[in-house]
Structure formats: C-alpha cells, structure tokens
Chain A
C-alpha cells in the first residue's frame, strides 16, 4: 500500500490536473460559441456559390469543352487528398477520426493501384500520417499563427491545389474534415472537390441566365474561387468541431479526475485510520506485557 505521503501528493497532483482540464473546458466552450457562429455565418456564401455554379454548369451545353476543374481530366489515376486537422492536441477523437476516415480511403486507392498524394493541413494530421504515409505527403500546411479560420488562409490552400492541378499533378482531389453536428457529434467527411461532384443537381432551376462575359469565362473564374470557398467551409466546420470535441473531452477528463480524487481520498483516510489503529494496538499490547 502506498504511504500516506505518496497518497497526499497523488491527490494534489490529480487536483491540479483537474483544474487545468476545467479551465481548458471553459476556454473551449467560449471558443466554440464563436466558432459555431462563424461557421453558421459562413454558410450562405458557400451555399450561394454552389447554387451559382450549379446554375452555370446546367447551362453549359458543351460538356466536352467544360473547364477541367468541373469536368475532370478524364482519368482517375492520381488522387490528391487534403487532410485537414487541428494544430493542437487534447481534443478527444477529433484528429484520429479524420485520420481513420482518410486512412481507409487511402488503402482503397492504393488497392486499386492508383497513385496517392497527400497534403496535410494542420500539424496533428501530419504527425499521425507521416509514419505510414510519409513518402506520399507532398506538402504540409499549418496555420498556427492565425487565431481563427480566415478566408485568406483558405485561399492560400486553394491556390496551392489549383496550381498543382494545372500542372497536371493529380486528377481527383478530395478533402477530409470533420463536419460539426453538435457538441458531442462530429462527423468525419470526405468531400470530392475536383472534379466537382454535381450531386443534388436537381434543385437547380431551368431558368436561363444572361451571362456577361460568356459562361466559360465565368466558370473558369468561378471554379477556383469555389475551391477556396469549399476549403474555407471545411476550415470553419473543422474549427467548430475541434472546439466541441475538446470541450466534451475536457469535460470527461474533469469528471474522471473528480472521481479519482474521491477514490484516492477514501484510500488516504483508510490508511490514515489504519496507521492510528496500528499505533494504538502497539501501545496497548506494550502496556499489557508489562
């Protein structure tokens, strides 16, 4: 049995850990509110953008000559995966969920004998993936300095992707991120952004538009922007998910620490009483023997 002193130290250490996790939970809760707000505010933009593109692409008669970002390169040989994770740990299963989703996708692609390229956004994803897929990672982008997700950062990632696409480095691009559902549920998502997946096309209207300049030019200007927008959306969802995940993880940790303190305190009291009893027995039996 641990000595009284050890137990005392243990209790003190668990208590101070509990203080830290409690503080982290509070901070995460405050940040979550902000992140959630900006995720909600950011939605109209990406929705509108999507609508415009759907309207445009349904208006295009000549699918053959459609911009490559929309129609794809015609083959599916090289896959680029953009794995978006956080820069900080201690947020429960947040990062590992994305990684798990991404890894299963990776092995599927490799099984089909296709080439795989990975871009990681956020250092945690890079840390976890470089062990198994180190040779596949072509770039690691991290935004440790920026406090909140902002469009400027997303645009940077988008530009890198488009540059690589135009250089013919890949055919299909998929982004991985966590979609924020609520504080306890975040759903890892794989979303294909190049070529554009036109699922949900049915809600585009048949109305004809006037285009100025012509469709092709608008589309070729719009599509790169859409990539950045999608990435920005993913970043917003991700940051809300990260805070939500951290909040519930820290809540759990605080509760567990509380339970541990209770258990240790009981043990401490028991052994204290045992020590007193032992001492008493010693004194009594000493007196008796005289």
Chain B
C-alpha cells in the first residue's frame, strides 16, 4: 500500500523496533502531540515523556518513552530514545518504580523549570497508565 512508511526506533543498546508498514505514528513531541502520516515534511523534534502510538496493519502498538529525538525524512521515521518500554509487556512494578523515581526527582528543590515540567509530565503520564 502506498500509505505506509518506515519506522525505526533505536535505543543506545540496540535497534528497538523496525517496521516497514506503519500507517500512522503519534509521538509526544515537545510542543504537543504530533501525528505523522506518510509524506510528512522533514522534521526534527524531541520528545517529552509520553506514549508513542504506532498504527500498522497488524494493529496498534503503544510505547512509553521518557525522552528522545524524532527525525522524519523521506518517509523514514527515526526515533532515538534512551528509555522506551512496550506497554503491552511493561510490568506494573516497573511503572511503579519509574513513578517513584520521578516523584523523588520532583521533590528536589534544586531543579530548573524545564526539568520540573518534564518530571511533572512524566508523573502525569505514568499515573494515567496505572
């Protein structure tokens, strides 16, 4: 089908996901959620904590990310992230752990506004998961 493009998610350890037949990807870009379809203009942006939704023929998949960079070019979507979890096999305990860590960080007094914003965002997303 012509409405499909390629997605590649890499984390520092390995290629996390490579798919050739995705029709739509929704990423939590820094300035709001962003849906990407085929023939989107070339774009570079980075991610805030949130859910990446990958729609393809075989169904939807959801991933939780904490940070990362998206690059879309020539119908190739690359997502670089250092922390990504597949929601369908993510443990409740992992979620709790991340939430605890984020809350700890939010409690610190010496963080700047941007980190604060990101951490709050993270907590919010994690809470909706539970």
Q: Which A residues are closer than 8 A to B by beta carbons?
A: 38, 41-42, 44-46, 48-49, 51-52, 55-56, 150-151, 154-155, 205, 207-213, 218, 221-222, 225, 229, 232
Report whether A45 and B44 are in contact in the complex, using a CB–CB cutoff of 8 Å: no
| Closest Cβ neighbor of A37 among chain B residues | B14
Complex CA distance for A38 and B14, rounded to whole angstroms: 7
Report whether A218 and B12 are in contact in the complex, using a CB–CB cutoff of 8 Å: no
Q: Which residues of B contact A154 (CB under 8 A)?
A: 12
What are 25 A-B interface contacts by the 8 Å CB criterion? A38-B14, A42-B12, A42-B13, A42-B14, A44-B8, A45-B80, A48-B78, A52-B44, A52-B78, A52-B80, A56-B44, A150-B13, A151-B13, A151-B82, A155-B82, A207-B73, A208-B42, A209-B42, A210-B41, A210-B44, A212-B29, A212-B44, A213-B31, A218-B69, A229-B12
Q: Which of B13, B43, B80 lies in contact with A212, CB distance below 8 A?
A: B43
Complex CA distance for A130 and B82, rounded to whole angstroms: 34
Q: What per-residue 1/0 map shows which CB atoms of B67-107 lie under 8 Å from chain A?
A: 00101010000101010000000000000000000000000
Q: Does any Cβ of A come within 8 Å of B46's Cβ? A: yes
Q: Which of A38, A41, A209 lies in contact with B44, CB distance below 8 A?
A: A209
Report whether A48 and B13 are in contact in the complex, using a CB–CB cutoff of 8 Å: no
Q: What per-residue 1/0 map shows which CB atoms of B1-34 lie under 8 Å from chain A?
A: 0000000101111110000000000000111001
Complex CA distance for A151 and B66, rounded to whole angstroms: 14
Complex CA distance for A121 and B14, rounded to whole angstroms: 23
Q: Which residues of B contact A56 (CB under 8 A)?
A: 44
Q: Which of A41, A55, A221 lies in contact with B13, CB distance below 8 A?
A: A41
Report whether A211 and B71 are in contact in the complex, using a CB–CB cutoff of 8 Å: no
Separation in Å of the A197 CB from the closest CB of chain B?
A: 20
Q: Which residues of A contact B11 (CB under 8 A)?
A: 45, 151
Complex CA distance for A211 and B82, rounded to whole angstroms: 21
Report whether B14 and A212 are in contact in the complex, using a CB–CB cutoff of 8 Å: no
Q: Which residues of B contact A213 (CB under 8 A)?
A: 30-31, 45
Q: How many A-B residue pairs have CB under 8 A?
A: 74
Q: Which of A41, A45, A48 lies in contact with B71, CB distance below 8 A?
A: A48
On whether A52 and B43 interact (CB within 8 A), knowing A38-B13, A42-B14, the answer reads no
Complex CA distance for A271 and B69, rounded to whole angstroms: 74
Q: Which residues of A contact B34 (CB under 8 A)?
A: 212
Complex CA distance for A45 and B15, rounded to whole angstroms: 8
Q: Which residues of B contact A150 (CB under 8 A)?
A: 13
Complex CA distance for A205 and B31, rounded to whole angstroms: 26
Report whether A49 and B80 are in contact in the complex, using a CB–CB cutoff of 8 Å: yes
Interface centre among B8, B12, B41, B46 (most CB of A within 10 A): B12
Q: Which of A48, A151, A155, A211 lies in contact with B45, CB distance below 8 A?
A: A211
Complex CA distance for A218 and B44, rounded to whole angstroms: 8
Q: Which of B10, B44, B80 lies in contact with A211, CB distance below 8 A?
A: B44
Q: What per-residue 1/0 map shows which CB atoms of B33-61 lie under 8 Å from chain A?
A: 01000000111111000000000000000
Q: Which residues of B contact A38 (CB under 8 A)?
A: 13-14
Interface centre among A42, A45, A46, A51 (most CB of B within 10 A): A45
Separation in Å of the A224 CB from the closest CB of chain B?
A: 11
Complex CA distance for A7 and B43, rounded to whole angstroms: 74
Separation in Å of the A216 CB from the closest CB of chain B?
A: 12
Complex CA distance for A218 and B8, rounded to whole angstroms: 20
Report whether B15 and A212 are in contact in the complex, using a CB–CB cutoff of 8 Å: no
Complex CA distance for A154 and B78, rounded to whole angstroms: 22
Q: Which of A44, A211, A222 lies in contact with B15, CB distance below 8 A?
A: A44
Complex CA distance for A139 and B125, rounded to whole angstroms: 38
| Closest Cβ neighbor of B73 among chain A residues | A207
Separation in Å of the B81 CB from the closest CB of chain A?
A: 9
Interface centre among A55, A154, A209, A222 (most CB of B within 10 A): A209
Separation in Å of the B32 CB from the closest CB of chain A?
A: 9
Q: Which 4 A-B pairs have the closest CB atoms?
A: A41-B14, A151-B12, A212-B45, A210-B43
